[in-house]
Amino acid sequence: MNSRQTVEMSALLCLKSGPAIESCPAICEAALSEYWIATRCRLNEWGRRLRALGDSQTNAGAASAERTTSGEETNDPLTTLAEEIVATQLLTRAVAAVTHAYDTRHGRPNAGPIGRNALEGHNEALSRLRAIVFAEWRADSPQSRHLTSLGSSIDHWSDALLAYVGPADVVRRFAIDPDRLTEFAYDARAHGENAAHGAEKLMLLSIRAALQSASRPPIDAELNRRIAGAALGLLGAEAFDGLGLPRSPWMARLERSADETIAMVDRLFSEEAGSSRSVPLPDSRWRV
C-alpha cells in the first residue's frame, strides 16, 4: 500500500466514522493493539532511515547539492521517505481524532491516549525529516517543491476530513488550522441523503486527483496495509455491512432511530402497566 492509497483509506475512515462512533458499543481492542504495534514498527523503521540519512549528510554534501540543483534524481531514498512520512500523517491524525472523539462521546478514556501517542511519534519524525530536507535540498529544487505541494494538500484535506469525525470543538485540537476545520464543519453536517452521498463521493475523487504525484514505492507496503486495516477496524464489525463495506451513515441513523423508538414504546408500556397496578380499586358501592 503506497502513500496515496493510505490517504484514501484515511478519507474513508473520517467520512464513515461519525455515525459509527455514535453507535459503536466499544473500540475493537484487537484492532487498537494491531494499530499500535504496526505504527511503532513503522516509526522505528523511519527512525533508522532518518539516522542513516543524517549520518550521510556530511559525506555527500557536494554531490547532494549538485543532485538537488539538477533535479535528475527524484527517486532517491530521501524523496521516498519524505513522501511517505508527509502523506501518511493524515491517517495518523485521523485515528487520533477518531479515538479521542469516541472516548469523549462514551466517557471511556482508553483509546485516545494511544492515538495521540502515535501522532506525537509521527510529528517527531516529521521534525527530524524537515531538518534533513533543509540541509539536503535547495528551496527551489524539484524535490522541495514537490514536498511543499504535497504537504499543503495533506494539511488542507486533513482539516476537511476531520470535520466529519465529530463536533468541531472535540476534534479541533488535531487540526492543522482549527479555523479552517470550523469552516468545513458546516459542509460535514448532513443536508439530505443524496447531498451527503454526493459530497463524500466528490471529496474522494478530489483527494485522488490532488495526490496523483504521491506514487513512489512505499518503504514497507505490508506495514502500511496493517496500519490502515487496523484503523478501519477500530469501530468493530458494526461499522461494516454484510459485504464488508462501510455502512451507510443514513442507514445507521435509521437503525438507531428505530431502536430508540422501540425502547421508548417499551418504556411507555412499562410505565403504564406500573401506574395501573398502583391505582386503588374503587369502593364496593361504586362497583357494577
pLDDT of residue 248: 53
Q: What does the alpha-carbon distance between residue 285 and residue 288 come to, in Å, rounded to a whole number? A: 8
Number of H helices, E strands in the chain: 11, 0
CA distance 27 to 8: 22
CA atoms within 13 A on the CB side of 124: 11
Euclidean distance between the first and final Cα of the chain, in Å? Answer: 81
Where do we find the cell 487498537? 32
Instruction: Provide the mean pLDDT of the chain.
Output: 80
Average pLDDT, stretch 19-43? 90
Gap between the Cα atoms of 25 and 178, Å rounded: 29
In eight-state DSSP terms, residue 283 is: P
pLDDT of residue 27: 86
What is the reported pLDDT for 272?
A: 60
Assess contact for 92 and 39: CB atoms under 8 A.
Answer: yes
- E-state strands within 91-249: none
Query: How crowded is residue 185: how many other Cβ atoms within 10 Å of its Cβ?
Result: 20
What is the pTM (predicted TM-score) of this model? 0.77
Listed residue (10, 4, 24) closest to 97, CA to CA: 10
User: Which pLDDT tens digit goes with each residue over 187-242?
Assistant: 777 554 555 667 778 888 888 888 888 878 999 999 999 999 999 999 876 555 54
Q: Please state, for a pLDDT cut of 90, what percent of the chain lies above it.
A: 49
The predicted structure's pLDDT at residue 208: 87
Instruction: State how far the Cα of 86 lies from the Cα of 143, in Å rounded to an integer.
Output: 13
For the segment 163-185, what is each residue's pLDDT rounded down to a tens digit? Answer: 999 889 999 999 999 999 998 88
Which residue would you say has higher pLDDT here, 249 or 261? 261
Q: Is the pLDDT at 24 greater than 90, yes or no?
A: no
pLDDT at 109: 80
Q: Cell 521534525 maps to which residue?
A: 127
- Band (pLDDT 50/70/90 cuts) for residue 280 is low
